[in-house]
Amino acid sequence: MSQPLIVECPTCGAPVEWNEKSPNRPFCSDRCKLIDLGAWASEDHAIPGSPLEDDVFSADLDAPPRGH
């Protein structure tokens, strides 16, 4: 029988078994999962890349609307 895969919780570093017994995997708990979600929501975490322009906020207000 093989050993279960053990990963570190991305938030606190606690060991987490990667199986059905750990419903919050890769996090050790619901609390750590929510801390991570809050970090994404407050933009503490971000995927690197060039910023995207948003047509709604960067459109010239005097220009005619574009057809899509």
Q: What CATH number is attached to the domain comprising 24? A: 3.30.50.10
pTM for the predicted model, two decimal places: 0.64
pLDDT in tens, 18-62: 999 999 999 999 999 999 999 999 989 888 887 766 666 665 556
Indicate if the pLDDT at residue 13 is higher than 80.
yes
Domain membership of residue 32 (yes or no) is yes
Residues of each annotated binding site for Zn(2+) = 9, 12, 28, 32
Domain membership of residue 66 (yes or no) is no
Residues of each annotated binding site = 9, 12, 28, 32
Domain membership of residue 63 (yes or no) is no
Q: Residue 28 CA to chain centroid, in angstroms?
A: 16
Domain membership of residue 25 (yes or no) is yes
Domains contained in the chain, number: 1
pLDDT at site 62: 63
**Domain of residue 12, residue span:** 6-47
Domain membership of residue 60 (yes or no) is no
Measured between alpha carbons, how far is residue 23 from residues 3, 4, 12, 33 in Å? 18, 15, 17, 11
Type of residue at 55: D
